[in-house]
């Protein structure tokens, strides 16, 4: 018997992780500025060193589902070659950062061992 579908109503919000290194930090800062000027989001701290499941420097953009149709195309078109990870928050952190995730740019490894299977 096939599995039951997962309903999108389980998504509380979304995260975009914007990855950068010393050479791309200025572009990451410009993208952050553009996002803050145009959208009501919650911006995470700058992490110049790997943190959590992330293997390189990054900051996080947290946003509500109703912004998806405008914010996601905006970052797609304005990421300036940066790598971004877009994922839902559905209560299954490991799945959300892996099988439910969308990458823009290079696909980076994710340290899944630090992510819970479910909240």
| Burial class for 87, CB neighbours closer than 10 Å (0-12, 13-18, 19+) | buried
How do residues 84-104 score in pLDDT, each as one tens digit? 999 999 999 999 999 999 999
CA pair distance 82, 103, nearest whole angstrom: 11
Torsion sign across C-alpha atoms 106, 111, 117, 119? negative
pTM of the model: 0.93
pLDDT band with cut points at 50, 70 and 90 for residue 119: low
How do residues 49-80 score in pLDDT, each as one tens digit? 999 999 999 999 999 999 999 999 999 999 99
Percent share of the chain, pLDDT over 70: 99
Domains in the chain with CATH codes: 18-107 (3.30.70.1240)
Instruction: Please report the pLDDT score of residue 8 as a whole number.
Output: 86
pLDDT band with cut points at 50, 70 and 90 for residue 4: confident
CA pair distance 24, 115, nearest whole angstrom: 27
Instruction: Please report the pLDDT score of residue 76 as a whole number.
Output: 98
Which among 37, 3, 18 has a CA at the least distance from the CA of 80? 18
């Amino acid at each position: 018997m096939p599995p039951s579908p997962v309903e999108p109503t389980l998504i509380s919000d979304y995260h975009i992780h914007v990855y950068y290194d010393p050479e791309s930090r200025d572009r990451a800062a410009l993208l952050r500025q553009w996002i803050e000027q145009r959208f009501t989001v919650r911006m995470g701290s700058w992490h110049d060193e790997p943190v959590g499941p992330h293997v390189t420097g990054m900051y996080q953009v947290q946003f509500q589902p109703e912004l998806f149709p405008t914010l996601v195309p905006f970052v797609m078109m304005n990421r300036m070659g940066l790598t971004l990870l877009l994922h839902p928050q559905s209560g299954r952190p490991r799945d959300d950062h892996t099988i439910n995730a969308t990458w823009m740019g290079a696909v980076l490894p994710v340290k899944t061992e630090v992510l819970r299977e479910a909240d």
